[in-house]
Amino acid sequence: MAGLLTFVSARGGAAAHRDAIADALGLMRHRGPDDERVVATDDVVFGAERLVVTDPDGGRQPLSYPPSGVTAGRYLIVLDGAVHNAAELRAELVEERRAEFVTQSEAEVVLAAYHHWGPSAVSRLRGAFAFVIWDSSARRAFGARDPFGVKPLYQLQTPDGVYLASEKKALLPFVADPAAVDTARLQHYLTMQYVPEPATMHPDVRRLGAGESFVYTPGGPLANRRYGQLTFRPAPVSDEDAVVRRITDTLRESVHAHLRADVPVGAFLSSGIDSTAIVALAAERRPDLRTYTVGYDAVGPQAQFSEIDVAEQSARALGVPLDATVVTAADFMRALPRIVWHLDDPVADPALVPLFFLAERAARDVTVVLGGDGADELFGGYPIYREPLSLSTVSHLPDSMQRGLRAVSRVIPQGVKGKSFLERGTTPIEERYYGNARIFTDEEKSALLRHYEPDVRHTDVTAPVFKEAGALDDVTTMQYIDLYTWLRGDILVKADRMTMAHSLQLRTPFLDRAVFDVAATLPSELKVPPRSQETKAALRRALVGVVPEPIVHRKKLGFPVPIRPWLRGEMYDWAHGLLDTSGAGDLLDLDVVRGLLRGHRKKEADHSRKIWTVLVFCVWHAVFVTGTMTPGYFRGDDHAERYYEQETRL
């Protein structure tokens, strides 16, 4: 895999941009510290920072294909990620097309597949990937992202041509105004705690959407299209036991496929069922699998947020070694600028901070790590998925009665029990649901933002997804919304950036096409049973006998973070300092946030998520817009080297 940066010139002369591309490529050295290579022609410049996972000797990138014949070297590729069925595709290409291979690399398989099958080849790939191919004969660039959006690909089109990169920071040197902030995206961020794809906080840079491919011919438009859509199709079940066995068998096969690597492999282990299942199934093939967890001091208010004790119990039951990392409030404050720099755009999910330290620890031992991301979206794991059941007594009433109850809710004082229930129960799901994180309301944003735009609403993001969901039941509709918004904008962004910050490849066996095909057919009652408080019911049944019994019915935690007590204590003065020095006052009324911070300290209300959302944006603004805050890196004599500054070394 690699951190990739490519330039396709609109009018030739691309080689003149080689040095600029090579310099910007160095900003992604963390994605591939093992090798750096830049190839330039008159049409393109292709650069790669390589992390060796497979074929250490033959997998250098950029890679050309075919290796011989009259069309030798016609194609050039840079690939980030992993293709888990590369061996099977290689065998098929050799047998059916007599394809020639000279390496064991996944990149050569992708190129051969494109050569013989054309753009449709991307639909045959199983894995997490983003790649760019240049066809020198057709003078055409083609690329794609995996269907779930595990691996990123950023796009920038200028009069000179098209730039594509694994991280946005590598494109900013080529942006006309890198200090420009898209205020509409800022409003979405303040609502959802992330910037929904395909947009970014920089108006000129966009992301290729998950499950999309692109074509670019020099001088023409950059054309993106969806090549594959993930669709839920719940169906009645006649044999629940057979469905449960299929879940177990399919997940086991996926985990085993994700273990393929020529380097050491480990796994993250929290206190929940998802990561524990991955570890249990992986340990069947690798009994010496190393696992890693993260938590907090066992003394003080943060102790209740730590999952280390439960993870240790699971590791002992599964017979695998476990390394635990303890993170403090001081670690959070010291590392946040560096973390935000790796993110490229602000993501206000506090869990990404412990994940950063967890990845740093794992990267000392392994190059690949397995994680449990995606299980909640596929199998119905979030507690909020039970909301349609709890609201049914109101939401199923005739429209006239709902309008009356809605009027009643308006006169109930804020904070009085029952107000929120009536409001949500009488609001259509298309209006009330926009994901797991709901940070600032429209009213709160109008007070916070200097330039509030009332026409910018969360439905701008969610309405097209609701339309695609069609006639799905409410629970499955919520899953679909999260699959196309929350998973891609929050979960997978933090997973990729926090692991790649330490040159660690994260693999997610739940986010596999075969696993999705099983999950997509489950009816809602097998995910959130109506007469139970359980979530992921079918998955839990499938994992009985696989994970330790106490974990099977344990409720979801997912590396919780004690920012609520910390913002009342250790982080209080630090938070004030960020607000005072970030330079974000032109965009936000920071006095509003100071008021939230004071009210939070007095325990008038829990404002921690709102405060954290603004603090992360303030750090992002200081790092990427004003340049008044450094991420803790500096450039050595060799542009390809990156070092942690001594005073911020972990």
Tell me 33's DSSP state: T
Does residue 295 have a pLDDT over 70?
yes
Mean pLDDT of the residues in the chain? 93
411 pLDDT band, cuts 50/70/90, is confident
Q: Where in the chain is the domain with CATH 3.60.20.10?
A: 2-182+198-226
What is the predicted pLDDT for the residue at 436? 84
Q: Which residue has the tokens 């079918």?
A: 538
Looking at residues 15-28, what average pLDDT do you find? 97
263 pLDDT band, cuts 50/70/90, is very high
Sequence-distant (≥ 6) Cβ neighbours of residue 257 within 8 angstroms: 84, 85, 126, 509, 512
Looking at residues 220-228, what average pLDDT do you find? 95
Which one is predicted more confidently, 332 or 531?
Answer: 332
298 pLDDT band, cuts 50/70/90, is low
- According to DSSP, the residues that pair with 35 across neighbouring strands are 50
- 203 and 446 in contact (C-beta within 8 Å)? no
What is the predicted pLDDT for the residue at 557? 61
CA angle 215, 204, 18 (to 5 degrees): 65
CATH architecture of 2-182+198-226: 4-Layer Sandwich (3.60)
What is the predicted pLDDT for the residue at 418? 85
Which one is predicted more confidently, 177 or 392?
Answer: 177
CA angle 27, 193, 529 (to 5 degrees): 125
Does residue 642 have a pLDDT over 60?
no
Looking at residues 388-398, what average pLDDT do you find? 88
DSSP H or E stretch at residue 183: helix 183-192
d(CA 85, CA 341): 33
- According to DSSP, the residues that pair with 603 across neighbouring strands are none
What is the predicted pLDDT for the residue at 462? 96
Phi, psi of 44 (to 5 degrees): -140, 160
Looking at residues 40-45, what average pLDDT do you find? 97
Rounded (to 5) percent helix, strand, coil in the chain: 45, 15, 40
637 pLDDT band, cuts 50/70/90, is very low
- According to DSSP, the residues that pair with 633 across neighbouring strands are 644
Sign of CA dihedral 14, 17, 19, 20: negative
179 pLDDT band, cuts 50/70/90, is very high
d(CA 107, CA 79): 6
Q: Record the tokens describing residue 308, joined without a space.
A: 């280390």
Phi, psi of 48 (to 5 degrees): -145, 135
How many CB atoms are closer than 10 A to CB 555? Answer: 12
Burial call 161-187: b when 16+ CB within 10 Å, e when fewer = bbbbbbbbbbbbebbeebeebbbebbb
pLDDT digits (tens, 9 = 90+) for 123-139: 999 999 999 999 999 99
- 78 and 61 in contact (C-beta within 8 Å)? yes
pLDDT digits (tens, 9 = 90+) for 559-588: 678 999 999 999 999 999 999 998 999 999
Which one is predicted more confidently, 523 or 271?
Answer: 523
Sequence-distant (≥ 6) Cβ neighbours of residue 59 within 8 angstroms: 50, 52, 103, 104, 105, 106, 107, 108
Does residue 354 have a pLDDT over 60?
yes
What is the predicted pLDDT for the residue at 228? 87
d(CA 336, CA 501): 13
Does residue 432 have a pLDDT over 50?
yes
Does residue 330 have a pLDDT over 50?
yes
Burial call 422-440: b when 16+ CB within 10 Å, e when fewer = bbbbbbebbeebbbbbebb
- 412 and 418 in contact (C-beta within 8 Å)? yes
d(CA 268, CA 407): 48
What is the predicted pLDDT for the residue at 556? 65
Which one is predicted more confidently, 16 or 637?
Answer: 16
Does residue 494 have a pLDDT over 80?
yes
Name the residue among 159, 115, 154, 158 with its Cα closest to residue 133. 115
At the fourth CATH level, which superfamily is domain 240-381+484-552? HUPs (3.40.50.620)
pLDDT digits (tens, 9 = 90+) for 469-479: 999 999 999 99
pLDDT digits (tens, 9 = 90+) for 75-125: 999 999 999 999 999 999 999 999 999 999 999 999 999 999 999 999 999
620 pLDDT band, cuts 50/70/90, is very high
d(CA 564, CA 302): 9
d(CA 89, CA 75): 18
What is the predicted pLDDT for the residue at 641? 35
d(CA 555, CA 528): 13
- According to DSSP, the residues that pair with 370 across neighbouring strands are 267, 507
Does residue 303 have a pLDDT over 70?
no
638 pLDDT band, cuts 50/70/90, is very low
648 pLDDT band, cuts 50/70/90, is very low
My answer on whether omega of the bond before 523 falls inside 30° of 0, hence cis, is no
Looking at residues 28-47, what average pLDDT do you find? 96
Does residue 456 have a pLDDT over 70?
yes
Looking at residues 427-441, what average pLDDT do you find? 91
Which of 17-31, 276-290, 397-411 is predicted with the least confidence, judged by mean pLDDT? 397-411
Does residue 480 have a pLDDT over 70?
yes
